[in-house]
Each structure stands twice: as structure tokens, then as C-alpha cells.
Amino acid sequence: MKITLTSHAANHLLRLAEGLQARSALNRFYTIYPRFKLKNYDIHPKYVHAFRSLAAATFLCIKAGKDMPDQLHSALFDHYVAWMLRFDRTQPNIVQGNSGYCLETLRVAKKRGIKTVVDRACPHIDFQLALLDEEIERLTGEKNRASTRHKLKDKMLAEYDLADAIIVPSTYSYQSFKDRGFDDKKLNIVPLMKEKNVTRINVTRDKKQDFMLLAVGFSFYRKGFYYLLKAWRELNLPNAKLILRTTVPKSFSSLLDFPSIVAVNHHLSNADLIRQYQLCDAFCLPSIDEGFGMAAVEAMAAAKPVIVTENVGMHDLITDKKEGFILPIRNVDAIKESILTLYEDRALAEEMGEAAYQCERRYSQEQYLKTITTVYKKILNEESIYDI
């Protein structure tokens, strides 16, 4: 059994490549990252095929203060992998790629008789864009902003139809495909594992020290940070601090002008981010749309209670009021109540944090590999490959 993976970014497929290699099931790993950038991952160089010129171009764009257009990035990476796959003399059983970045690759794989998998870490693109259009219009009055700016939608839709299987990380994402007529046989739920090597540490905190709430995410509208900021300002808790790592649109920057809000809008190294997980008292991800919510799982690995919404896919893994709180979206009062509960009862926060830690431990790389192996088995209609 041999699996070829393609990934245009640093994401969970790197950990999957590690696990497949350990079981002699990795065939190729196509990426933009040169081998030295993968030093934190146990992936042998012989499996890695890096599109280094694209990595260099992406880096230069970032240095110039610009982002490479998604459409261009997708086309370049996809055509590179498709070209490599066309002339690859090995014969993988399955080719798996990230949604939006693998259409040409899937077409080449199909011609070679290879089974194909689209890895979609978010809900169906139509569902996601409709939800974001609604959210942005609610907050700004601007209509259809997300859908008109998205350049990969048609490519994603074509990938969904072409692939033999689609992998999603949660029932939230799964249901968005089911509601659009996709067959159960094509859809597969594989919960993700933590990406960063977050561990718990024993932090001795004086009860008089500031209560620290951490929130991490890039997309202000998707992550629901408007509602968190509103809730935090209305609470106005003494001896409390909100550490918010995001980029806030200028039209909402006034929300950050509050003594107990510390906004971090620059890049944090993995070590610095892990330290924030370890030092905070609780973590909040009040997303309007979140296919999984890796950041919340990483907070759980640091033994922190999590506040998430029903639209955060990882809520599948937890129980409301046990490892944290599961709230309706856009509910400022519910966010306030959850924060206040943890603020006023530090013992409860620690108890929930311990439950969160024990819960996260069950979703290890080993469990992730077992689950995804079952998916591969279904696609190929074979016996389990896990013990190969």
C-alpha cells in the first residue's frame, strides 16, 4: 500500500506523511518547502519533492508585503505536481491533495488508474462562502464580499466531483456536503490531531494574578472575534487580560482600544505561541465558521479549558461544560457568561483544563492514522492496511 500526498502549505498532511512513512506506506510527498524547512518533521528526504522556486517566489512576495494570489499559487503548485506525477515511475494506490490545489493532479492520477482523495479541512465551499457573505454583510453592510473575492471556488467544486473520496475533519463540515447531495460513501470524517508540539507545564499562579484569556486566528470575520471583543469590553473584568493574536480590519480597530486587551498582530514563532497556550487560563475560539479548530485542540494539549461555538468542528471531541463550553454563534451573552464562569472559579477552570488535556490525548497521531487507514481501506475495498 502506497500513498502519495500533496500539500501546498504547512498543515496536517505533514504529520500524516510522518505516520505513513513509519508504516512504509508513504510513496511521495509533494510540497513547496525545501527539505531544511521540514526539519521538525520525521520525513526522509527520499520521499520529499519540493517546488523550491514556488517557495522562493512566495517568500519574496511576503518580504515585499504582498501575498501571492491564491489562483496563481494554486495553478503553479497543481501543475507542478501533475507534471511530476505524470512521469513518476512508481505506482501509488492513492493520491491525496488539499482542496483547491489538486484538480490537475487528480486528473493525471485518474488517467493512471490511481484512486483520488480531496482533503477538505473546511465545510463545502458554497456553504462556507454563503455564511461568510452573511457575516460580513451583518457587520459592514457590504454584500457578497467573500464569494466575489474567492478565486478557487470553481476549481474546488470540480475537485469534489472528480475525487473518489472526500475527507473532512468534523460532522460540521460533513453535514455541509450531505446537504448538497453528496453520498455517504464518498464522505469520510477524520478528526485532526494537534499540529504543534504543545505540552502542558505546571504554572504556579497567584490567585491575584491576571486572568489570561487567549484567542488565536487570522480571519477576523470567520473567527467571530467581533463578538469576543464586544463581550470582553462589556465584562470589563478587573485583573484580567485578553491576548488576541489576529489581524483586525481598520473599521474595527477601535475595539482594541481597551486597557485589558493585548493585540498581537505580528508573526509569532511556534515556541512563542506554545508559551502563550501554556500561560493562559483559558482559550476562546468563537468562530462563525471553523472546519475543525486546530488551535483549540492545541490549547487542550496545554490543559486549558476551551470556549468554542457549534460551528467549530472540533466540538465533536468535547462535551459542553466538561472540557469547556460549546456556544451558539454570534452570542455575546453566552461568551460573557462562559468567560465569567472561568474567571470567578479558577478551580473549575483547572478541572475543565485537566479534562481537556485527557480528551486531547485520545486524539494522537496513532488514532489519526487508524482512522484514515480505515478510509483508505474503504476506498480500495481492501482489508486494513494499518498493520503493514
Say whether both 348 and 374 belong to one domain.
no
Say whether both 163 and 297 belong to one domain.
no
Predicted pLDDT at 207: 56
Among residues 163, 77, 167, which one has the least CA distance to residue 122? 167
- CA dihedral sign, ordered 23, 28, 32, 36: positive
* Cβ-contact 49, 82 below 8 angstroms: no
- Count of structural domains within the chain: 2
> Coil, strand or helix: which one is 106?
helix
Domain span at residue 234?
Answer: 211-361
Say whether both 28 and 129 belong to one domain.
yes
Is residue 295 domain-resident? yes
Helices (H), 124-170: 125-140, 145-149, 153-162
- From first to last of its 388 residues, the chain has per-residue pLDDT tens of 899 999 998 888 999 999 999 999 999 999 998 877 788 889 999 999 999 888 788 778 877 778 788 999 999 999 999 999 999 999 999 999 999 999 999 999 999 999 999 999 999 999 999 999 999 999 999 998 888 989 999 999 999 999 999 999 999 999 999 999 999 999 999 999 877 677 778 766 555 578 999 999 989 999 999 999 999 999 999 999 999 999 899 999 999 999 999 988 767 788 888 899 999 999 999 999 999 999 999 999 999 999 999 999 999 999 999 999 999 999 999 999 999 999 999 999 999 999 999 999 988 888 899 999 999 999 998 544 444 4
Say whether both 108 and 223 belong to one domain.
no
* 226 CB-near residues (< 8 Å, 6+ apart): 139, 220, 252, 255
d(CA 71, CA 87): 25
Predicted pLDDT at 292: 96
Say whether both 34 and 109 belong to one domain.
yes
Say whether both 239 and 292 belong to one domain.
yes
Is residue 201 domain-resident? no
In the sheet with 306-309, reading across from the earlier edge strand, the strands are 261-264, 240-245, 211-216, 282-285, 306-309, 324-327
d(CA 160, CA 182): 9
Predicted pLDDT at 385: 42
Taking only Cα atoms into account, the Rg of the chain, rounded to an integer number of angstroms, comes to 21
Among residues 381, 378, 214, 231, which one has the least CA distance to residue 305? 214
Predicted pLDDT at 376: 96
Is residue 355 domain-resident? yes
Is residue 385 domain-resident? no
Is residue 156 domain-resident? yes
Is residue 240 domain-resident? yes
> Coil, strand or helix: which one is 141?
coil
d(CA 114, CA 5): 13
Helices (H), the chain: 12-22, 52-63, 70-86, 103-111, 125-140, 145-149, 153-162, 171-178, 225-235, 270-279, 294-301, 332-344, 346-361, 365-380
Is residue 204 domain-resident? no
* Cβ-contact 164, 379 below 8 angstroms: yes
Predicted pLDDT at 204: 61
Say whether both 187 and 274 belong to one domain.
no
Say whether both 12 and 59 belong to one domain.
yes
Among residues 297, 305, 267, which one has the least CA distance to residue 198? 297
Say whether both 229 and 275 belong to one domain.
yes
What secondary structure letter does DSSP report for 210? P
Is residue 83 domain-resident? yes
Full DSSP string of 305-369: -EEEETTBGGGGGS-BTTTEEEE-TT-HHHHHHHHHHHHH-HHHHHHHHHHHHHHHHTS-HHHHH
Say whether both 78 and 188 belong to one domain.
yes
Looking at the DSSP assignment, which residues form a beta bridge with residue 211?
240
Looking at residue 230, which CATH number applies to its domain? 3.40.50.2000
Say whether both 239 and 256 belong to one domain.
yes
d(CA 92, CA 349): 48
Say whether both 235 and 339 belong to one domain.
yes
